[in-house]
Structure 1
Amino acid sequence: MNLTSPDSSLSSAATTKKRAASPRSARKPANTPPLPDHQPALQPGVASITHLTTKLAEYLTPAELKKVKEAYRFSDEMHLGQMRKSGEPYISHPIAVAEICADWKLDAQAIMAALLHDVMEDQDVKKDELIERFGAPVATLVDGLSKLDKIEFQSQIEAQAENFRKMLLAMARDVRVILVKLADRLHNMRTLGVMIPEKKRRIARETMEVYIPIAHRLGLNNIYRELQELAFSHLYPLRHRTLAKAVKAARGNRREVVSKILESVSTTLAATGINAQIDGREKSLFGIYRKMHNKHLSFSQVLDVYGFRIVVDTFANCYLALGTLHALYKPMPGKFKDYIAIPKLNGYQSLHTTLIGPYGTPVEFQIRTQDMHRVAESGVAAHWLYKDEEGNLSDLQQRTHAWLQSLLDIQKQTGDSAEFLEHVKVDLFPDSVYVFTPKSKIIALPRGATALDFAYTIHTDVGDQTIAAKINHEPAPLRTELHNGDIVEIITSPSSRPSPNWLSFVRTGKARSAIRHHLRTINLSESVELGQRLLSQALAMLNLNPVLAPIVVDRLLNESSAKSLDEIYADIGVGKRMATLVARHIMGLLENEPLVTPLLDMEGVAAPGKMDPVVIYGSEGVSVQLSPCCQPIPGDHITGQLKRDQGLVVHAEDCNIAKRQRNKDPDRWIEVLWGEDLNRRFDCRIKVLVHNDKGILARVAAEIGDSDANIIYVNMDDDKDQLMTQLIFTIQVEDRVHLARLMRNVRRIRGVTRILRDRTG
């Protein structure tokens, strides 16, 4: 091939002969099966970087451009002979990723990482070699982009979660990691058509669940919209084609309306003296589909398919243009949003208003300045596109850095990769509410966040010590959902500690991870003790000695990625690991080893495997919980379920919920027994059907107190006109005998028709 210039154009075909002599080129390319003897070898395709170097020459120095070309040559050599599913040389993919990064004007290190991003994963290039050739920053970026294919995981889900965790933590330290990764995913989605349908759907779903929310969170709206369209087309190809056809058919009918609006708005703004750039745009197919799906509309009912963007020269003209538009067309009530005064979490700023246009058609307008438009389209990448001369961080950069720092905080407090990913996904939820501190500072939270989430957003210590909240100067429960404009005040106490119940209503990842971390920490000894008991019993079932030899412990820790045996015990105690599975793993480690010591009975014959019941005292803390659905009390026959992150949950044996869950997952159930000398009281519910007589509630409550029981909750029917009323009490009793005595006493009250224990949850 003829090269126009050695400096500006390099091709994979042109350097084949030179690389053939290199020891590196002998390395077997990934995913390239050997060709049969009778089949001629395919000639490598050509992938030029002329277009890339032209883009880079606009803003990189010659020295930086030289380093980029060195990275290209190395990547080309590593991927030599490797082909994509489309038949193109594999090097075409890194080049395309680098070109997307060049559009954002990312620095030379990021461009080099884009060119090298697959060499560690596909060609087994070590990080040390990249450090030696291209420097530590580039090697760290490539390492953050590489998957963990060489580690064995228990499941595909666990492997995926760990890969995301690694990538997001690398992103938290250097945001360029996620920018290159998004460019990588964008090119993969653009070329996804050659994949089999099942793989297309899997990759598209992964893109929709993780990468699109990240792009939105970082304000990368161009990529956000394109990834949405591509993922939609591969997830639901028939719906995408049908909707595209409908939009194309409607386009001609609405052209007259769009032209008329453009003309009238342009004329009116010019007459007011506002210099504006006006663009009419069609809503994306996914945006139309989402509106149809969420609001249960047909296509013909989605009227605002078109929107208009008005870019003005000054901040003040945004509001002047808004007033001009409202004078031209009538605004729809409740359809105005000021994202300039209160920007979105990702830094987006614009005025949004929906007006009733010609022929009664709703039309959406977005009004912003040129600077706002740059951030709206490029988000955090605008930091590289348009750097501040003094290098100061913008509000967007500060918010992004704060969010990235929160990822590191969550990682420190999170038990495993799946939990970490769960917390991060929560924080990627796009809708937000904006509330105020008592000192009028604006705090942005995900939709559905509670007063307790607000406390943890202020600081982890504030959340841990929260005892009450005031919303708009009125006392409110901690579980109260917040709304835009709420003023929230948190009341704390140094003696307060997080409750396990908080996990049932907090919304943000930071709050959930902090609560779980605290519960794990303060109850670590309880969880370790319970886990040790469960593992010892599981080993006994397999006739193995519960006292593990040091060599077995070392091998177990190496293969389970745990730091200590106590960590494994704690994981078993909180339900993250199954004692029976760990015991079987230990048995596998002992195969062909002279370390197996069977447990022998009196006759010297191996005892049959039988797991002794776990004894429950009710004072174990959160590592053992009594299920709220059936509220077992001493005297009830009970059974135990090991639930992930909740430890041992105790049910009554005849609990319907327990029966259903036991049928679904029998391996997580163990035998449990009540201990002796239980020095505490237990919650239970009773229902009392009474005549609607004056003072009946007081008489029943007094009798419960006289029976030495404590009332902690009472509820009754709202309908006061009925002859009969059902009272529901949650009371604290010692055991079944105490409860039976109380029920006999209440039954004797005049006006009480029926009393029974409620175990329906």
Structure 2
Amino acid sequence: MITLADLIALVRNYNPKTDEDLIRRAWVYGEAMHEGQFRHSGEPYFTHPVAVAALLTEMRLDDSTLVTALLHDTIEDTKSTYSEVAQMFGEEIAELVDGVTKLTNLQISSSEAKQAENIRKLLIAMSRDLRVILVKLADRLHNMRTIRSMKPAKQAQKARETMDIYAPLAGRMGMQWMREELEDLAFRVLNPEARNSILRRFITLQREAGDVLHRISGDIRTELERAEIDAVVFGRAKKPYSIWRKMQEKELAFSRLSDIYGFRIITNSVDECYTVLGLMHGRWRAVPGRFKDYISQPKSNGYRSIHTTVSGRDGKRVEIQIRTREMHEVAEAGVAAHWAYRDGERSVNPFAVDPAKWIATLTEGLGSEEDHDAFLEHVKLEMYSDQAFCFTPKGDVIQLPRGATPLDFAYAIHTRIGNSCVSAKVDGLRVPLWTRLRNGQSVEIITAEGQRPQASWIDIVATGRAKAAIRRSLRDEDRARFMRLGGELLRAAFENAGRDMSNKALATAAKIMGISDAAELRARVGAAEISARRVVAALYPDGVSETPQVDASRPVLGLNADQSFRRAACCQPLPGERIVGITYRGKGVVAHAMDCDALAEFEDQPDRWIDLRWQDGTHPAVYGVTLDLTISNDAGVLGRVCSLIGEHKANISDLRFMDRKPDFYRLMVEVEMRGVSHLHEVMTALEAETSVARILRTRDPSLRP
């Protein structure tokens, strides 16, 4: 925990005229009130109010707000009272502390009806003094930074509340840095697998592409120097949640994302902003439709900046934001810039928005009781500016991503509505089905009996649900005919290969190819989406081609001559799989599969990561893999399974029976493989065997190094 002297020093950095005595008295009072209280982590509770106050100094806020942070939990959690705080620190601070207390007591993530009422109370509190929500946002940020000490159920509830309410609210107030951090902290709780996957891919991308940020920043500075413009350049990679959300909305794989890097250029004047824009477009090709001028048309929270996206070095798309220093201050602090201090005086920023005027745009009409529902709809539309909330003729709200069309709206209501859609009315006017919907619009879907989805609809819709429903409908139309034709094609292909076609073999092939079942496989073959020969090849691939043999003592590239190497027992990586090395003191380098869960433990230790890859060529069958087999309890089955493994030139090094039933056995088989293709070959052959009910490759996280 920072000390009182540290906190006062942080304040004096931007406000030399701070009332040190006021802050010192608030510290002593808050520490005394929270005496004997502890957080879930075991730390003294008062460390939390101090951390909240320190966060607010980063926004250069006034003494009253900092004192409120130090006292924000006293009325709620201690024997302190409103009257006592007012007597000791004044009515202004007492009202601020009381406002934060009331916000804390709102169960915002409760039922929808109660949530709407509580959001109304939240906004009423904001309208009285916006500093209340600034303290509450800093309070939530520190709680999210330390959320790991809470119980899992509480973590999930707080993370969802943060993602739904507090992060969008921070963004709406112009505090984009806080929104991004809140979203990422909540994302870490709600979907840790996705976040870790993106972080691992980032590490791989940086190794493969080098320091892209440094190179592009250098290119930008070169252009600025040639034009003799004095400006500051920042470069950064986008946050994991921002990347994941874009992947979901656009249904793109990570490898297909282009603009994952962003750059800011801070100039000295508005004229220089437009000069720099010309330099950037002169150096690189601008991406059409990705230019926004928030200098000439500022956002309601005071945000001003020029946004453009260009195809930069190596064809990579990069977003560039250009703004002045004063605009940058507002972009960082948002509405909070109104209270910012510098050299002991209120900082007069020409672009900072008056909070009273800003909050009035949200609370307009709140005084009329019958307008509450409309008011809440308006507030949600304003807060969730990256989504589109549209309404049915009955007033029901349909939530869609930005860029959605009436077809997406129809499928969001029901697949049957989407499939039979012929046209739509938006705000009472008939529009084409490819029209992009905006927040607050009313949409009426017009359907017709006998209407079926068209192939062109795939390119119109924006949501995964609509795309999947359209594809499914297009296949279903001729499904029966395609299944019959596909069955005949497959039967001929199996006969040509000298193999028998069975439902078990087709089901196994479908699983290998990522298809739901054998019936769907037949339909896709009949529709010419997949060739019958490819299905047979998936089950019975050709033997390993003649390639140079690899030295088993040094099978990977990327090690120093003095470094020892071994495979991680937890994930058992095989040649052909992407791997990364982790250095261990006294254990040398341990190779993990790129998707191994154990790697999450080393995200904050990049100096221990080593870029490894398997040598090209044929590896000897010395790499053990554990297979979980369930086989029928019939005479000769185990022998046939072992013989089948041997026929594929794989050696069984260990075999353990895990469960014995009257009709089935479950066993763990340790098999030595050449690589991942060899493993797939063996598993495919076993899956096609009628007596094998199930086969899995197992990984044991408990065997981490």
Give TM-score scaled by structure 2 length: 0.52
Percent identity over the alignment is 41
Deviation (angstroms), 1:259: 4.0
User: What is residue 319 of structure 1 aligned with on the other side?
Assistant: 274
User: Secondary structure of 2:19's partner?
Assistant: helix
1:204 aligns with 2:159: yes
Aligned to 1:112: 67
Shift of 1:427: 2.2
User: Aligned partners of 1:103, 1:149: CA distance in 2, in Å?
Assistant: 22
Which of the residues 383, 390, 403 maps onto 1:428?
Answer: 383
Could you say if the C-alpha distance between residues 288 and 62 of structure 1 is closer, same or farther in structure 2, counting changes exceeding 3 Å?
closer
Q: Judging changes above 3 Å, is the alpha-carbon distance between structure 1 residues 338 and 409 closer, same or farther for their aligned structure 2 residues?
A: closer
1:476-487 correspondence to structure 2 within 5 Å: 479=428
| 1: CA distance, partners of 2:267 / 2:153 | 46
Give how far 1:118 is off: 0.8
Q: Give the Cα–Cα distance (whole angstroms) in 1 for the partners of residues 249 and 195 of structure 2.
A: 16
Q: Is the 8 A contact 2:363 2:375 kept in 1?
A: no
- 1:140 equivalent to 2:73? Answer no
The Cα shift of 1:402 comes to 2.8
The amino acid of 2:160's aligned partner reads R
| Match of residue 331, structure 2, among 376, 379, 386 | 376
Who is 2:223 aligned against?
268
State whether residues 315 and 369 of structure 1, in contact with CA within 8 Å, keep that contact through their aligned partners in structure 2: yes
* Residue equivalent to 2:284: 329
Change (3 A) 1:391 1:57: closer
User: What amino acid sits opposite 1:369 in the alignment?
Assistant: T
Aligned residues: 409
* Greater length-normalized contact order (CA 8 Å, ≥ 6 residues apart): 2
Deviation of residue 70 (structure 1)?
Answer: 1.3
Unaligned runs of 5+ in 2: 389-400, 405-424, 432-437, 448-705
1:243 maps to 2:203: no
Partner of 2:588: none
In the aligned structure 1, how far is the partner of 2:75 from the partner of 2:36? Answer: 16
Secondary structure (helix, strand or coil) at the match of 2:92 reads helix
Say if 2:316 is the partner of 1:364.
Answer: no
Contact 1:145 1:167 in 2 (8 A): no
Structure 1 pair 58–325 and aligned structure 2 pair: CA distance change class (3 A): closer
Query: Which structure has the bigger radius of gyration?
Result: 1
Q: Secondary structure at the match of 1:184?
A: helix
Question: Which residues in structure 2 correspond to 1:277-288 (within 5 Å)?
Answer: 277-288=232-243
Of 213, 220, 244, 2:168 maps to 213
SS in 2 for 1:364: strand
Partner of residue 295, structure 2:
340
CA distance in 1, matches of 2:255, 2:109: 48
- Report the residue type matching 1:88 in the other structure: E
Instruction: Give the CA deviation at 1:168.
Output: 2.3
* Cα deviations by residue, 1:609-662 (Å, 9 ceiling, x for unpaired): xxxxxxxxxxxxxxxxxxxx9xxxxxxxxxxxxxxxxxxxxxxxxxxxxxxxxx
Greater Cα offset, 296-305 or 337-346:
337-346
> In the aligned structure 1, how far is the partner of 2:31 from the partner of 2:38?
12
8 Å contact 1:79–1:119 — kept in the other structure?
yes
Residue matched to 1:68: 23
Unaligned 5+ runs, structure 1: 1-45, 434-445, 450-475, 483-504, 512-628, 630-761
Task: Determine if contact 1:448/1:507 at 8 Å carries over to the other structure.
Answer: no
In the alignment, what sits opposite 1:507? 440
Please show how residues 523-562 of structure 1 align to structure 2 within 5 Å. none
Provide TM-score, normalisation by structure 1.
Answer: 0.49
- Residue 254 and residue 171 in structure 1: after superposition, are their counterparts in 2 closer, same or farther (change >3 A)? same
Aligned-partner SS, 1:427: helix
Mapped contact 1:479–1:506 kept (Cα < 8 A): no
Q: 1:481, 1:402 → 2: CA distance?
A: 37
Q: Which residue identity is paired with 1:68?
A: I
**Aligned ranges for residues 426-505 of structure 1 at < 5 Å?**
426-431=381-386, 479=428
Residue 103 of structure 1: how far off its partner (Å): 1.8
* Structure 1 residue 169 corresponds to structure 2 residue 102: no
Query: Equivalent residue for 2:262?
Result: 307
Alignment of 1:188-199 (within 5 A): 188-199=143-154
- Kept in 1, the 8 Å contact 2:174–2:333? The answer is yes
Contact 2:232 2:266 in 1 (8 A): yes
**C-alpha distance in structure 2 between counterparts of 1:381 and 1:326, whole Å:** 33
Q: 2:180 corresponds to which residue?
A: 225
> Structure 1 residues 286, 325: closer, same or farther in 2, change over 3 A?
same
| Cα distance, 1:62 vs structure 2 | 6.8
Calculate the aligned-residue CA RMSD, in Å: 3.9
> Cα distance, 1:223 vs. partner?
1.1
Task: Give the match's secondary structure for 1:89.
Answer: coil
Instruction: Report the Cα offset of residue 245 of structure 1.
Output: 1.0
Deviation at 1:113, TM superposition (A): 0.8
- Give the match for residue 54 of structure 2: 99
Letter of the structure 2 residue corresponding to residue 397 of structure 1: V
User: Per-residue CA shift, 1:459-511, capped at 9, x if unaligned?
Assistant: xxxxxxxxxxxxxxxxx9965699xxxxxxxxxxxxxxxxxxxxxx9929xx9
Cα gap change, 1:390/1:153 in structure 2, threshold over 3 Å: closer, same or farther? Answer: closer
Separation (CA, whole Å) in 2 of partners of 1:166 and 1:372: 31
Q: Quick one: which of 285, 289, 294 aligns to 2:244? A: 289
The answer to whether the 8 A contact 1:60-1:108 is kept is: no
Q: Is the 8 A contact 1:330 1:356 kept in 2?
A: yes
Change in CA separation of 1:423 and 1:477 when aligned onto 2, cut-off 3 Å: closer
Change (3 A) 1:311 1:391: closer
Selected match of 1:397 from 353, 374, 386 = 353
Q: Is the 2:303–2:327 Cα contact (8 Å) retained in structure 1?
A: yes
Mapped to 2, the partners of 1:125 and 1:258 lie a distance apart of 51
How far the C-alpha of 1:420 sits from its partner, in A, is 6.0
**Structure 1: distance between partners of 2:116 and 2:74:** 22
Question: In the alignment, which residue of structure 1 is the partner of 2:138?
Answer: 183
Q: Deviations over 1:528-558 (max 9, x none)?
A: xxxxxxxxxxxxxxxxxxxxxxxxxxxxxxx
Deviations 1:303-329 (A, max 9, x none): 111122111222111111111111111
CA distance in structure 2 between the aligned counterparts of 1:417 and 1:194, rounded to whole angstroms: 38
Q: Find the counterpart in structure 2 of residue 757 from structure 1.
A: none
Deviation at 1:281, TM superposition (A): 1.1
Distance 1:164 1:130, change over 3 A: farther
The 1:409/1:258 distance shift into structure 2, 3 A limit, reads closer
Contact 1:162 1:417 in 2 (8 A): no
Offset at 1:142? 0.8
